[in-house]
Amino acid sequence: MRGEIEVNEEVVRILEEAETGVVERVELSGRRLRLLPEAFGKLHGLVHLNLSSNQIEVIPDSIGGLKKLEEFDASSNQLQYLPDSIGLLLNLRILNVSGNRLNALPESIARCSSLLELNASFNNLLFLPTNIGYGLLNLEKLSIHLNKIRFLPSSICEMRSLRYLDAHFNELHGLPQAIGRLTKLEVLNLSGNFNDFAEVPDTIADLTNLRELDLSNNQIRTLPYTFGRLGSLVKLNLDQNPLIVPPTEIANKGADAVKEFMSKKWLEIITEEQRRINVEASNQQGQTGWLAWGSSLVSNIVSGVGGYLSGPKTPSDPYLDQQL
């Protein structure tokens, strides 16, 4: 009881200080807080608010009054929902609500257009807001691991600034087909979706800056033949999948071996297609316009794939070797 009284006194002191001056930073981590007074919304000059490791169940609607707030840490509490007013925090850059009991994030979170980092891991999330990607265009880091998410909304593919996406240990059934639009993405962790995750879209090959990819502990049997186009990839984990293409012995050799194997497979398919087109062209000599165009196109693709196979391998990065 004495501890709770002391905490209440500290909260009162902070509010009193706010009346006499500008409070920019409040640190209340690990203070056994259960409630946050509505009056906290009057700390209009607040820039940094840390409420982590308490027992808070509700964030008051008045939080929307913290117009200057840039960093908000409410991790490791007992939150079951976030107020819609959080969408009023237009200057918020970092939001950490991991380790709570959230079943959903409010649709209004998409209005936090300045967000650079969002951590909603270790909750009970079943889905992400449908419109989340249309508003969070500046987001660089998204952590949603250890939830129960089954599908990622297609709008997530509009997060063109995203560099880091961690969605491991969910119930994902796959990725949006437009995932290749995330051309700045460098780290993607989709491990541990187990029986639900069985297919990787061929558009993943458009992630030209991807350096780390973890697909372990899923049900993937075949990688897309375009996989060899991931030229920046240096770290790849395919452990604990029923792999057929590429075979496990290739997967165990690492990213370069997998990319080379898949590129050769792709080259074989394209070469066969070129042979088929040439046969048809010779059988239809009077109608060769589109066939000649198709043959030329396939030849260019074959040349490009062949160039990759003979080109230099991606150099290793000592820093990345310490990741995952």
Domain containing residue 227: CATH number: 3.80.10.10
Based on the fold, state whether residues 315 and 193 are members of the same structural domain. no
Is the pLDDT assigned to residue 132 strictly greater than 60?
A: yes
Structure tokens at 270: 């394209």
How far apart are the C-alpha atoms of 302 and 101, rounded to whole Å? 52
Pair type for strands 94-96 and 48-50: unpaired
Please state whether 32 falls in left (phi above 0), alpha (psi between -120 and 50) or beta: left
How far apart are the C-alpha atoms of 272 and 261, rounded to whole Å? 17
How far apart are the C-alpha atoms of 227 and 231, rounded to whole Å? 9
At 317 the pLDDT is: 40
Based on the fold, state whether residues 318 and 215 are members of the same structural domain. no
Across the range 307-324, mean pLDDT stands at 42
Based on the fold, state whether residues 60 and 191 are members of the same structural domain. yes
Across the range 222-230, mean pLDDT stands at 96
Based on the fold, state whether residues 224 and 198 are members of the same structural domain. yes
Is the pLDDT assigned to residue 21 strictly greater than 70?
A: no
Based on the fold, state whether residues 296 and 158 are members of the same structural domain. no
Q: Rounded to 5 degrees, what are φ and ψ at 260?
A: -65, -45
| Residues in a beta bridge with 143 | 119, 166
At 113 the pLDDT is: 98
Q: pLDDT, tens digit, for every residue of 155-212? A: 999 999 999 999 999 999 999 999 999 999 999 999 999 988 999 999 999 999 999 9
Higher pLDDT, 170 or 38: 170
**Mean pLDDT across the chain, nearest whole number?**
87
Across the range 315-324, mean pLDDT stands at 39
Residue 173 CB partners (closer than 8 Å, separation 6+): 150, 151, 196, 197
Q: Which of 261, 289, 304 is where one domain is finished?
A: 261
In 3-state terms the chain splits into helix, strand, coil percentages (rounded to 5) of 40, 10, 50
Domain of residue 110, residue span: 2-261
Structure tokens at 74: 């409410």
Q: Binning pLDDT at 50, 70 and 90, where does residue 273 land?
A: confident
Based on the fold, state whether residues 206 and 152 are members of the same structural domain. yes
Q: Which of 211, 245, 261 is where one domain is finished?
A: 261
Q: Which of 261, 276, 291 is where one domain is finished?
A: 261
Based on the fold, state whether residues 161 and 191 are members of the same structural domain. yes
C-alpha separations of 167 from 34, 69, 118 in Å:
30, 27, 12
Based on the fold, state whether residues 292 and 231 are members of the same structural domain. no
Based on the fold, state whether residues 275 and 177 are members of the same structural domain. no
Across the range 23-51, mean pLDDT stands at 91
User: Could you tell me how far CA 89 lies from the centroid of its own chain?
Assistant: 22
Is the pLDDT assigned to residue 295 strictly greater than 80?
A: no
Based on the fold, state whether residues 183 and 312 are members of the same structural domain. no
Based on the fold, state whether residues 250 and 276 are members of the same structural domain. no
Structure tokens at 295: 């043959």
At 111 the pLDDT is: 98
Across the range 111-122, mean pLDDT stands at 99
Domain total for the chain? Answer: 2
Based on the fold, state whether residues 137 and 284 are members of the same structural domain. no
